[in-house]
Structure 1
């Protein structure tokens, strides 16, 4: 029961949940980060390590989050109120995850706005017939134009608002059943185009040829960190989506399907992108430089590039949209469950707040470029570092520790037995109790070391 008075919303079908949860997991990182870090860290050797990390860290924590949500029928904060009590330490895990969701939602929508801008550029033929230097310069002109970014930021937030305000079944599930199949179709078209290009083998080799000489301790940590972050863990989304699950749903099967789709899309995106990049004799870049600079140049040189560019940036936009609606929903659920707000009021308020808080992000590389809240980092980079490097792993670590050590084992087992997978309990409980916390703690330690937090603390107290 939501708020103890209203029946809890539920997914209308298993397919609806899987598509919504996969949509939450599939984001921009699948398309512009995973392929590149795979190629740069040993190709097939890295992919193998990544899959192991998914199995022993990502999957157990995803099951734990879904289990918490389904058992309590509450948002991330309310779930820990229900399990551990309001006066205990553990609701902090829920608060941190909801806070991370809000921060990410505010700046992610600005980045998603870039994809909408590039859809517009592709449709209007802005890349056609332009020299490479002019196309590459378009991204710099975009991030340097605060007004243009704010317009796209507003449009993207409005799209998220329009979907989430419709509710679980008529909003999120209905649109997931529309957006995710379209996303798969667009990706498949790009994948086939890449596999039929002359750069197909180079793309396959870049991503999958195992080069164990490049597989360092840092590579393993990169795989471990990406396995955690790519599945939308630690940001309240899976707890919230789990709270809408049928009590008899197979948690293991549902989680495996979501993980499989997320990984498949990342691999297909990498093959699609790098095959066409190599086909025109270019070298892949990393991050935003790959999708907003290299890819438009590549498509401008290919037959049918006008259509391919439209397909690619639509794909990016849909991936961003399905991810961001889960972030917004996790916050909306908190206000509905804990504060008694109506869905309309909660969604409108949070979408508006996300837009306002996202304004400094849109101005980070123009009007506010001189403002560096943390070290030499812009507002955008500071917000991303706080959420991605600290809040997400801290939340995930707390969830793993609570579920592995403090939650009643009989209740956990009942949740798995209800879906017909009680047999997996011993292996899952071992992983969530010992392996997952240690792995996430390791990632958190090195993230703190990498970002200079320890040095800053030493100077503060020294």
Structure 2
């Protein structure tokens, strides 16, 4: 092993791996999309279908990225160059790094909104404001002005300071603190939400199984959410996989990460929808739910000031654990391929992404282009090519060795190979065709 590989930073514990990987997977979509999808698509019926796809598709694809990362001990581009030298496969790595770059450019803008809302909530700005006044605040906070740019830059600076410190001292340490805090905050919010009169309607919306709502689009929604929710296709999990010790079980890490992501999304639903129904508001999804509707709900709540502040802190932490992993994909590429020092790589990456972020903040067309190109094309294509590579190119022996537990092939190895060769590519192809509008039910 080379001197460089000896010096490679690694996660210090299983908890560190899962905290970082789950932090990457848990994003703002878990808060404003997943609970609504669940309620609108048959409650517990949708949850059951979604969980099936998480285990049947999400975990194998995540495992594939972990295998690529740990086997190669390299960034997402370097991994394919190392594992398939002289071939065209490194194009997957380029797509992944490009996807992380583009996603962070627009996601940092949305993340910046959470900071502005923390400041506004802490200053009691929303007290006694009408829903129209809150909507005006939202339009200004997210509109084409200096404000979204300022808060986007602040958010990127926080992200960069954590990534600059390295894996153990930066990413792992931050995620080990933030992830437990995330769950504590959401449990406090659930306690308040469930205590409201009329909260039971929200529970019914979320959990009452309604199989009459299960149709083709439900299956597609569950499949797409299982793929997009887990940070797959852009090399984040492969990058984190490259920091996992050989003695750690990749299977356990993938399952714990996927279940933590799902569990958190369900908990958020418990925090949000009982409150929405208690105040007689129509359930909805998207940024408007958390940035327009919820400030008004907190106004009507006993202790609303406290709950508003911790709610927006919850949003900011959720965003931050994702922006950390996105920036790390780009930084590791700069460190290993362009031979930059980590500090320089971090600020160059953060600076160039922030420049694109400014464009996203002032031009909604650029924002939309980055969003649709990364989500509809780069991520599904990256995920599809990744599983084909692991299933057909990497070889059974390499995969078996990476999935060894206590010196023996993992019990799921025999299932993993056919899933990754046949089922996963088919499922991701369906996600891809649906995302570009070629497949509808």
Residues 150, 28 of structure 1: CA spacing in aligned structure 2 closer, same or farther, 3 A cutoff? same
For the residue of structure 2 that corresponds to 1:286, the secondary structure is: coil
- Mapped to 2, the partners of 1:167 and 1:133 lie a distance apart of 44
Gaps of 5+ in 1: 366-377, 453-462
Aligned match for 1:440, one of 424, 428, 436: 428
CA contact (8 A) 1:202 1:275 kept: yes
Per-residue CA deviation, residues 359-397 of structure 1 (Å, 9 max, x unaligned), is 1111125xxxxxxxxxxxx11111100001110000000
Indicate the residue corresponding to 2:378 in structure 1: 391
Residues 2 and 268 of structure 1: is their aligned pair in 2 closer, same or farther, counting only changes over 3 Å?
farther
For residues 70-97 of structure 1, the C-alpha deviation after alignment (integer angstroms, 9 at most, x for no partner) is: 1111111111111111x31211111111
After superposition, what is the alpha-carbon deviation per residue over 1:255-289, rounded to whole angstroms, capped at 9, x for unaligned?
11111110010000011100111111111222011
Q: Which deviates further from its counterpart, 207-216 or 111-120?
A: 207-216
Contact 2:17 2:172 in 1 (8 A): yes
Which residue does the alignment assign to 1:37? 37
The TM-score with structure 1 as length reference comes to: 0.92
Determine if contact 1:2/1:74 at 8 Å carries over to the other structure: no
* Matching residue of 1:280: 279
Does the 8 Å CA contact 2:430/2:439 hold for their aligned counterparts?
no
2:388 aligns to what?
401
**Deviation by residue 1:271-327 (Cα, 9 ceiling, x = unmatched):** 110011111111122201101111111111111111111011000000000001000
For 1:104 and 1:222, the matched residues in 2 are separated by 21
- Give distance in 2, aligned partners of 1:89 and 1:211: 47
Query: Match of 2:317?
Result: 318
Q: Which residue of 2 aligns with 1:66?
A: 66
Q: CA RMSD in A?
A: 1.6
Matches within 5 A, 1:137-286: 137-286=136-285
1:390-429 pair list within 5 angstroms? 390-418=377-405, 422-429=410-417
- Say if 1:247 and 1:418, in contact at 8 Å, map to a contact too: no
Secondary structure, aligned partner of 2:403 = helix
Is the partner of 2:436 in helix, strand or coil?
A: helix
Contact 2:153 2:354 in 1 (8 A): yes
**2 CA distance for matches of 1:2 and 1:148?**
48
Residue 179 to residue 351, structure 1, CA distance change in 2 (3 Å) = same
Name 1:101's counterpart in structure 2.
100
Structure 2 Cα separation of the partners of residues 280 and 2 of structure 1: 62
CA–CA distance in structure 2, aligned partners of residues 395 and 133 of structure 1:
42
* Separation in 1, partners of 2:139, 2:215: 34
TM-superposed deviation, 1:213:
2.1
Give how far 1:46 is off: 1.2
Within 2, Cα distance between the matches of 1:448 and 1:230?
Answer: 18
> Is contact 1:164–1:325 with CA below 8 Å preserved after alignment?
yes
Change (3 A) 1:2 1:77: farther
Question: Aligned partners of 1:210, 1:450: CA distance in 2, in Å?
Answer: 30
- Structure 2 residue runs of 5 or longer lacking an equivalent are none
Q: Distance in 2 between matches of 1:154 and 1:236?
A: 24
Q: Distance in 2 between matches of 1:285 and 1:141?
A: 21
Distance in 2 (CA, whole Å) between partners of 1:236 and 1:246 is 18
**Does the Cα contact within 8 Å between 1:2 and 1:337 map onto a contact in 2?**
no
Q: What residue in structure 2 maps to residue 457 of structure 1?
A: none
How many Å apart are 1:400 and its aligned residue?
Answer: 0.8
If the length of structure 2 is used for normalisation, what is the TM-score?
0.97
CA contact (8 A) 1:284 1:294 kept: no
**In 2: Cα distance, 1:451 partner to 1:209 partner:** 29
The match for 1:373 is: none
Q: Residue 342 of structure 1: CA displacement?
A: 0.7
Match in the other structure for 1:24: 24
Cα pair 2:66 2:240 within 8 Å, conserved: yes
Deviates more, 1:99-108 or 1:217-226: 217-226
- Contact conserved, 1:199 with 1:277, CA < 8 A, in 2? no
Answer yes or no: is 1:336 the counterpart of 2:324: no
Distance (Å, rounded) in 2 between the aligned partners of 1:20 and 1:425: 25
Verify the 8 A CA contact 1:136 1:297 in the aligned structure 2. Answer: no
The answer as to whether partners of 1:200 and 1:271 remain within 8 angstroms in 2 is no
Cα deviation 1:397-439 (Å, max 9, x = unaligned): 0001111112110110011114665221011112111111000
SS of the residue 2:412 aligns to: helix
Deviation for aligned residue 1:183: 1.1
- Name the CA distance, whole Å, in 1 between partners of 2:102 and 2:89: 21
Aligned partner of 2:121 in structure 1 is 122
